[in-house]
Structure 1
Amino acid sequence: MNILLVGSGGREHALAWKLADSDLADEIVVAPGSDAIGQILECTIEDVKEDDHAGMKRLVEQYDIELAVIGPEAPLAAGLTDVLQAEGVRVFGPTKAAAQLESSKTFAKELMKKYGIPTADFKQFTEAEPAISYIRSHGAPIVVKADGLAAGKGVIVAETVDEAIRAVHDILDDNAFGDAGSSVVIEEYLSGEELSFMAFVHGSTVIPMVTAQDHKRAYEGDIGPNTGGMGAYSPVPHLDGKWLQEAEESILRPAAEAMMQEGVPFTGVLYAGLMITENGPKVIEFNARFGDPEAQVVLPRLKSDLVQLLLDVLDERETTPEWSDCACAAVVVASEGYPGSYEKGQPFTMPMTRSNETQQFFHAGSVVNSEQVGWKTAGGRVFLLSTQAPTLEEAFSLTYDVLGQKEWPGLFYRRDIGHRVINRSENKSQ
């Protein structure tokens, strides 16, 4: 069958790589794609922007597309699924109404409140003064979130009241996140450890994936501003087990059922960003697509044919994905200054990996350097290296061995991704 993959980032590079491995994929068209995705021989790149609905409809007709997979959140929130479904295409991705689980934090929080899905206490505001009064009455630490999509950067975990007030002014008064900040959600601070738990969902069909843990903060020691993610690993052994079963039963399945009850059934990847508290798992946020960089550590562990799996979910057939017992670790290399301002056009070359079968570079903000051999930066998160190995310790060691082969002028990466799980393992062995 012919497949349309929408997107151009590292997540979509991983999806293209996995889709191309399927015997069911005759032609894979990626729009807008990237230079790196174009190097996968089974992919055809079309320079059609994610928000160009007319262009996407043209691709459906030109390539006789039967299945569409939408990677990023923005086209989902803009209703691309609805447009493609109207063209008779099967789409793995939520409709505009269902994508509100991610595109509106207020929608998601109200849904969780109504259906008893565990999450932090919250209140929404459209004006700064009442929001500031609320912050002063509740104290810090406290969490301030832009209501809409902000590419993973619209969440401020404020350690002090003054920091929270500054965040409110930045979002509501200074328009720091554009339309995404037309309102703010202020939340209770949850203490614990974060866990990314994703599932393939279609209506009431929920097929959980293996777990992953992301590292959101920009700098080592988990300090600095939130980013889209600086690295990830899978599995998360110390948070699996009973927490996983509880999260599936109290969060993922109830959320899918709640969307059915609300008349907006969800199809696609339902991603629960969880905090494992002393009282059990609670939802920090829902996303309506694969996480990035979580996709780049979860998809390499998927042994099942991804296309067949998506079709099974859409057809509501019983299916049990097969996962590798190997661990997977990934580290992001980003432009200096990210997630703030940064320069584009920095040339770089890729080091040699140990094995093409167990290590993959997934590119995001990069383009081929037409002036010399190699690549140039074109975004904040430039690429990541994903490594599979029998243990997490080995996976991280092999990843950092490759990245350490060369200097990275104008770029940086965290050297402590996975520190919690590695420290936990070292303490157990002592």
Structure 2
Amino acid sequence: MKKAPNVKNSSVKRAFLFISKWGEILDIAHAIQKEGHLVKLFIDDKPSREIGYGFVKKVTNWQNHIDWADVIVFDYTGYGEICDALRASGKLVFGGSAYTDLLELDRNFGQQELKRHKIKTLPFKEFSNFQDAITYVEQNPDAYVIKPCGEIQDLKQLLFVGSDDEGLDIIRVLKAYEKSWGNTFGNFQLQRKVRGVEVSVSAFFNGNHFIRPLNVTFEHKKLFPNELGVSTGEMGSSMFWVNHSPIFDATLKKFEGSLARNHFVGHIDINCIVNGNGIYPLEFTSRFGYPQVYIQRDGINEPLGNLIYKIACSDTFVFNTKKGFQIGAYIVVPPFPYNDKKSFDLFSKDSVIIFKKELKEGVHPIHLKCINNEWLITGNTGIALLITGIGITMKDARRMMQNRIDNIIVNNSYYRTDIGNRWIEDSDKLWAWGLL
């Protein structure tokens, strides 16, 4: 793998080429640009290509800028084979691989790899049509989770977590999906539901081994407080950094050899349900997680550009992080979490982000453009900002985040007010189970 000079010199100006699927990487690209580096951003999704104008330099064909870049950063799965080819040609690449793409996108492959690495998994079964799944639940009544596979899993609101121990709610949802999707839904899994604390562990990987510290994250996926409403992918997260984690040792650590053999260089996360009986991995995110990476940025003391560059160079090091907790909440606008262009154009497009006081620390631009020094909402999904807070205690971090939210006016916006609230109960359980 290519080794670059001056790896540890954070003052060197370098060229970063970002290839983004939906534009989510804007905040990271903008932060690295503010550190003094050269930045170019390409967005694959056409309706999202206005994102980032006025913040960073945009390009329409990223392949034309490969030779310009010192390091190329891919922000999503699906580019793994391209990453592999670029690495083989000698380029420094921070992103996925063909192997890690499969870990995330092919749920069946991911579960089989967990078993191969001797990691405990939850019972699951994959289906290609709804009638077979309905029959299976009728014959095996239990609480299940419906998990779409392939590209359709990007529609997070289709993931459904059942609560009925006989599976009656799952049957009703499967019948509704059959009416609305027919044969276009693709493959999906029914996974046995287990009660416990949902927690993820993640780490950067330099092509040979994991870089420490590790990150422990608690996601809030439902649209409304107290886990009400549809699944959104995520509305916010709380987290902290650690040097050691029993959950990491039981899951991601066992993949170190496989990730090295498959030339992965980037960030990887595994989401789990844990309880007194054990640790049950649910799914991989073999790329930057959103909003995880924005919140992580506030807890990393090292310049972000230097960190990513050293990882891409396969350097071995330990980076410095803040003590305590980091927390963040999305501020969203209609039609989030749905895709409805008419509603977006009517209620949200080009809405101005208003700051009562000109303080932008902890304010992360997501689907925005900057015109005449004003931040305007663009794209098509309605994710405007991610607001963060940090503190020695979770209460301190929540207070800082709320103060920053109170400084912002976004017309028709909404956000969750309970991010981090369940920490006391969750942490008590995790300590009791020996997992913290």
TM-score by length of 1: 0.81
Q: CA RMSD in A?
A: 3.2
Q: Deviations over 1:284-305 (max 9, x none)?
A: 1101112111111111111123
Q: Distance in 2 between matches of 1:406 and 1:313?
A: 35
Q: Which residue of 2 aligns with 1:375?
A: 376
1:403/1:316 CA distance change after superposition, 3 Å:
closer
Q: Which residue of 2 aligns with 1:95?
A: 97
1:377/1:318 CA distance change after superposition, 3 Å:
closer
Q: Deviations over 1:255-286 (max 9, x none)?
A: 233455xx644332111112222223321110
Contact 2:53/2:370 (<8 A) preserved: no
1:406/1:304 CA distance change after superposition, 3 Å:
closer
Q: Deviations over 1:173-210 (max 9, x none)?
A: 743896xx421111111211112211112444112432
1:19-418 aligned at under 5 Å gives the runs 19-20=32-33, 22=35, 25=37, 27-32=38-43, 37-40=52-55, 43-46=56-59, 48=60, 55-61=61-67, 64-73=68-77, 75-76=78-79, 79-82=81-84, 84-85=86-87, 88-149=90-151, 150-151=153-154, 152-160=156-164, 161-169=167-175, 174-175=180-181, 181-208=185-212, 209-235=214-240, 245-259=245-259, 264-342=262-340, 343-345=343-345, 346=348, 347-352=351-356, 355-356=359-360, 359-368=361-370, 374-378=375-379, 379-405=381-407, 408-418=410-420
Q: Distance in 1 between matches of 2:35 and 2:374?
A: 31
1:15 is the counterpart of 2:19: no
Q: Which amino acid aligns with 2:42?
A: A
Same amino acid, percent of matched pairs: 18
Q: Which amino acid aligns with 2:39?
A: I
Q: Which amino acid aligns with 2:122?
A: A
Instruction: Tell me the SS of whatever aligns to 2:311.
Output: helix
Q: Distance in 2 between matches of 1:195 and 1:407?
A: 32
Instruction: Tell me the SS of whatever aligns to 1:211.
Output: strand
Cα deviation for residue 331 of structure 1 reads 1.3
Q: Distance in 2 between matches of 1:400 and 1:413?
A: 11
Of the structure 1 ranges 374-383 and 207-216, higher mean CA displacement relative to structure 2 is found in 374-383
Contact 2:238/2:420 (<8 A) preserved: yes
1:225/1:194 CA distance change after superposition, 3 Å:
same
1:414/1:267 CA distance change after superposition, 3 Å:
same
Q: Which amino acid aligns with 1:232?
A: S
How many residues get paired?
399
Q: Which residue of 2 aligns with 1:52?
A: none
Of the structure 1 ranges 322-331 and 214-223, higher mean CA displacement relative to structure 2 is found in 322-331
Contact 1:146/1:171 (<8 A) preserved: no
Q: Distance in 1 between matches of 2:141 and 2:375?
A: 50
1:203/1:153 CA distance change after superposition, 3 Å:
farther
Q: Deviations over 1:89-114 (max 9, x none)?
A: 22111123431111111110111122
Q: Distance in 2 between matches of 1:167 and 1:177?
A: 15
Cα deviation for residue 144 of structure 1 reads 0.9
Q: Distance in 1 between matches of 2:136 and 2:178?
A: 15
Cα deviation for residue 170 of structure 1 reads 5.5
Instruction: Tell me the SS of whatever aligns to 2:138.
Output: helix
Contact 2:147/2:188 (<8 A) preserved: yes
Instruction: Tell me the SS of whatever aligns to 1:100.
Output: helix
Unaligned segments of structure 2, at least 5 residues: 1-13, 429-436
Q: Distance in 2 between matches of 1:176 and 1:309?
A: 46
Q: Distance in 1 between matches of 2:258 and 2:119?
A: 9
Unaligned segments of structure 1, at least 5 residues: 49-54
TM-score by length of 2: 0.80
Q: Distance in 1 between matches of 2:307 and 2:320?
A: 10
Cα deviation for residue 10 of structure 1 reads 7.4
